[in-house]
Amino acid sequence: MSSEGDRLHVVTADDISEQRKRFGKLLVWGSAGLLALIAVLQAADQNGWLELGFTSWRPTLYAYIFWGICLCASQVITRGEHGKRTLFVLPATLFVVSMVVFPLLFGLVIAFSDWNLASPDGRKFNGIDNLRQMWNDPFYWNALRNMVWYTLAIIVEYAIAFGLALLLNAEIRARKFFRVAFLLPLMLSPVAVSWMIGKSMLENRFGPVARLLRELGVDNPSFFSSPEIAQLMIMLMDAWTYIPFMMIMILAGLQAIPRELNEAARVDGAGPWTQFWEVTFPLMLPVSITAILIRIIFKLKLADIIINVTSGGPGGATDSVTSFIFREYRDRSNVGYGTLLAIVYLVIIVIAMTLLIKAADRWMRPRY
Amino acid sequence: MTTQIFHDTEADRSFKAKRISGRILIYGILIVWAFISIFPIYWTITTSFKMAPDVMKGNMVPWWDYIPKWLGWRSLGLSPDTIANESTVREEFLKRFWNSTVVAVSASMLAVMLGSMTAYGLSRFNYRFGFMRNPDISFFFLSQLILPPVVLALPFLVLYKSLAMLDTRIGLILLYTLTVLPIVIWIMRDQFGSIPTELEEAALVDGLSIWGAFLTIILPIAAPGMVASFILSLVLTWNEYFFAALLTSSHATTLPVMVASQTGSQGISWWSMAALSFAAILPLIIIGIALERFIIKGMAAGAVK
């Protein structure tokens, strides 16, 4: 590891003896050997070659944790000051790698097998059968199509959030009250929201919204029986919780714009409308794009409200990919097929987000 | 009697009228949106004090068109007349509440610890793990944000099953730490970037080690960022439903799962559902009102570079 270009220069005068280095290496390899030994023993036990009476894979887990600790300690032992620096990043890296990379690899194995957790047969490798099943599963494609609609709704959310942020940034009284009030929906759990709004306020007979609509002359208002309206209601509920999030980010961006720019524009004779489109909006582009990208990431995880309010109905019209896979598992406990769907979804997301980020990058920094 | 010498001209007066109408419009929109934001919460609170006829008649304002009753809270065992009695529902509720608290607080603390260390290291030193340099490492951590929970859920279900960690708090804590870690790193990287390195240099000259400087000099300065990321993590983990629904069944179930399991069997006993929902969201409403500026600071960190 080189230290040139560090923001913080530390002069190190470590002389680490050969013996100390050897001890550090021994620690890492020794604990790795222990981990391998325990893992092999457990695997043998699992496959019935040996009878050791393990009930779970916990011993391997403990050995793995021990190896992680030894790896961190040996960094300091073998490399002194540089090792101490590595120690800032190493624990989190180990944590994320073991919590993401291993399960993902494991997920890839599961995805190509027929594995029903409820049946005693266990895992059976079945090649691309799951892929073929996915190709012919109209509900999965339907869920993907719904996700496109849900994502497009972000444009409207963004417009509303921008408007609210502009108002909050104007010279108003009781700004703190409005800020807190606007922020509150973000604090509520989606599950509580799905009862508070989806199941009681939007209830057909006694809900206040239905009552209001009846007053206004709509007879028999129903919110979750026709596909389009049900989808719209899900969008509205999700927008209600997340508009404050975009609003706060945009507000922070607005407050960072120096006043002089708008004043100069006014002196030059620009009206409020021109000022917004020629000064404020272009300056807000980077913030807007960050806010929208993060919002898209959150939107792609949308599930709680759908699971609790409509559970995908009517006829899969409101299904998101996540809620669909959730029910796929709950109803049929088919781990293999569900994992394949999830991994396909991940691949689609990664490709789409990469393209989107590239496009946003080019758009924000045009080359002349 | 004095006569006014200086008058607003005709043009000034029309400007004033325009300004006033503009004000009214701004406040009108603000008040409408504040109503939209607050009404569902108000509705939940008032419904928890209603009785069946009040719900059916659509009464809204307590003491005006209905008399508040403790019905909903009695079914939770939290009303004044039942608080002293034994109540299985209350036991259940408190157990879930405690689970949620333990899981959310420990996951957030773990994430803030790991995240601060990582963000500090990345903002001060150059690393090279194989082909990965600092920007790649940062991207590796932040890219975890894209990962949808559903991809991890089923592998973890199988993994936890073989590790005997299904339905345990520690299993949930580890997963929740993973989900909020990118957000913490994002906020803290911003925070450490704004602290000048001269501070640590002075501390190092005075004989502190790099970890000593980090723990005693830098962390106290970065405390606002840590509080902000802690609270954001707390909000996200307290409200998490998806993993909790899949990975817990009876022992480690959190509050959102309890609320969700009650919604199915609601019938028209809205008052008890309202009481339960309100009890579930109350802690965060209090946090939101009391610590609003930290939440805003946390979310603004990513927006303005």
Q: Go through the domains of chain B in sequence order and give each one's CATH number.
A: 10-76 (no CATH), 88-303 (1.10.3720.10)
Residue A187 is encoded by which pair of tokens?
């604090």
Å between A139 CA and nearest CA of chain B = 17
Higher pLDDT, B271 or B28: B28
In this structure, of A117-131, A203-217, A336-350, B184-198, the range with the lowest mean pLDDT score is A117-131
The helix or strand, by DSSP H or E, that contains position B132, with its residue range, turns out to be: strand B132-133
Neighbouring residues of B97: CB distance < 8 A, sequence distance ≥ 6: B255, B279
pLDDT confidence bin for A9, thresholds 50/70/90? low
Please state, in angstroms and rounded to a whole number, the distance separating the CA atoms of residues B260 and A190: 10
A106 with B129: Cβ contact below 8 A? no
Reported as a single tens digit per residue, the pLDDT across A177-229 is: 998 999 999 988 888 888 888 888 888 777 888 888 888 887 777 888 888 88
Number of other CB atoms surrounding residue B305 within 10 Å = 10
pLDDT confidence bin for B204, thresholds 50/70/90? confident
* Mean pLDDT across B91-102: 90
Neighbouring residues of B96: CB distance < 8 A, sequence distance ≥ 6: B253, B254, B255, B257, B258
B58 with A211: Cβ contact below 8 A? yes
Tokens 């939107």 sit on residue = A299
Q: Which residue of A has its CA nearest to B287?
A: A187
Tokens 């809205």 sit on residue = B270
Reported as a single tens digit per residue, the pLDDT across B38-89 is: 999 998 888 888 877 777 777 777 777 777 888 778 877 777 777 777 777 8
**For position A195, what pLDDT does the model report?**
85
pLDDT confidence bin for A2, thresholds 50/70/90? very low
Question: Which of chain B's residues have a Cβ under 8 Å away from the Cβ of A180?
Answer: 288-289, 292
DSSP state of A361: H
Neighbouring residues of A175: CB distance < 8 A, sequence distance ≥ 6: A168
Question: Which of chain A's residues have a Cβ under 8 Å away from the Cβ of B22?
Answer: none
Alpha helices (runs of H) in chain B, residue ranges in sequence order: 10-47, 52-57, 71-76, 88-124, 134-142, 149-162, 169-193, 198-205, 210-213, 219-221, 223-239, 242-247, 255-263, 270-290, 292-303
pTM: 0.89
Å between B174 CA and nearest CA of chain A = 8
Angle, CA B79 vertex, CA B75 and CA B85 arms, to 5°? 80
pLDDT confidence bin for A3, thresholds 50/70/90? very low
Structural contact between residues B187 and B236, judged by C-beta atoms closer than 8 angstroms: no
Structural contact between residues A339 and A111, judged by C-beta atoms closer than 8 angstroms: yes
> What average pLDDT does the structure give for chain B?
85
Reported as a single tens digit per residue, the pLDDT across B116-169 is: 999 999 888 888 877 888 888 888 888 888 888 888 888 898 888 888 888 889
* Mean pLDDT across A274-290: 87
Tokens 């106290």 sit on residue = B220
Number of other CB atoms surrounding residue B196 within 10 Å = 9
Neighbouring residues of A281: CB distance < 8 A, sequence distance ≥ 6: none
Please state, in angstroms and rounded to a whole number, the distance separating the CA atoms of residues A297 and B178: 16
Structural contact between residues B289 and A180, judged by C-beta atoms closer than 8 angstroms: yes
Å between A113 CA and nearest CA of chain B = 13
Å between B5 CA and nearest CA of chain A = 30
Residue A352 is encoded by which pair of tokens?
């789409």
Q: Is A316 left (phi over 0), alpha (psi -120 to 50) or beta?
A: left
DSSP state of B3: P
Q: Percent of chain A, pLDDT > 70? A: 94
Structural contact between residues B145 and B179, judged by C-beta atoms closer than 8 angstroms: no
Task: Calculate the alpha carbon distances from A71 to A31, A34, B115 in Å.
Answer: 9, 13, 19
Answer yes or no: is pLDDT of A367 > 60: no
Residue B257 is encoded by which pair of tokens?
């799962």
A322 with B242: Cβ contact below 8 A? yes
Q: Which residue of A has its CA nearest to B35?
A: A181
Residue A330 is encoded by which pair of tokens?
């709950």
ipTM confidence: 0.88
**For position A206, what pLDDT does the model report?**
78
Distance of CA B295 to the CA centre of its chain: 8
Angle, CA B236 vertex, CA B234 and CA B241 arms, to 5°? 120
**For position B84, what pLDDT does the model report?**
75
Residue B260 is encoded by which pair of tokens?
């969700």
Which of A89, A101, A257 would you mutate first to test chain B, the one with the most B CBs within 10 A?
Answer: A89
Task: Calculate the alpha carbon distances from A121 to A115, A124, B197 in Å.
Answer: 8, 8, 60
Please state, in angstroms and rounded to a whole number, the distance separating the CA atoms of residues B178 and B167: 18
Q: Which amino acid is at B156?
A: F
Question: Which of chain A's residues have a Cβ under 8 Å away from the Cβ of B214?
Answer: 88
Please state, in angstroms and rounded to a whole number, the distance separating the CA atoms of residues A269 and A292: 32
**Cβ-nearest to A200 among B47, B154, B157:** B47
CATH of A136-364, one of 1.10.40.30, 1.10.3720.10, 3.20.20.80, 2.40.30.260: 1.10.3720.10
DSSP state of B145: G
Neighbouring residues of A130: CB distance < 8 A, sequence distance ≥ 6: A111, A112, A113, A114, A336, A337, A340
Structural contact between residues B203 and B213, judged by C-beta atoms closer than 8 angstroms: yes
SS3 label, residue B62: strand
Question: Which of chain B's residues have a Cβ under 8 Å away from the Cβ of A343?
Answer: 151
Query: What number of CA atoms fall less than 13 Å from residue B166's CA on the CB side?
Result: 18
Please state, in angstroms and rounded to a whole number, the distance separating the CA atoms of residues B239 and B280: 9
DSSP state of A125: E
Give me the residue spans of the domains in chain A. Answer: 18-111, 136-364
Q: Render B170-209 in DSSP notation, one character per residue.
A: HHHHHHHHHHHHHHHHHHHHHHHHTS-THHHHHHHHTT--
**For position B202, what pLDDT does the model report?**
87
> What average pLDDT does the structure give for chain A?
85
Task: Calculate the alpha carbon distances from A177 to A16, A171, A241, B134, B290 in Å.
Answer: 60, 14, 18, 42, 12
SS3 label, residue B129: strand
Q: Which of A148-157, A333-342, B262-271, B286-295 has the highest mean pLDDT?
A: A148-157
Reported as a single tens digit per residue, the pLDDT across A52-105 is: 777 778 888 888 999 999 998 888 888 888 888 888 999 999 999 998 888 888
Higher pLDDT, B181 or B17: B181
Higher pLDDT, A109 or A312: A109
Angle, CA B159 vertex, CA B254 and CA B150 arms, to 5°? 60
**Angle, helix B169-193 to helix B149-162, in steps of 10 degrees:** 130
pLDDT confidence bin for A366, thresholds 50/70/90? low
Please state, in angstroms and rounded to a whole number, the distance separating the CA atoms of residues B132 and A210: 57
**For position B210, what pLDDT does the model report?**
85
Whether the bond into A314 is cis, omega within 30 of 0: yes
Number of other CB atoms surrounding residue A31 within 10 Å = 20
In this structure, of B1-5, B243-247, B270-274, the range with the lowest mean pLDDT score is B1-5
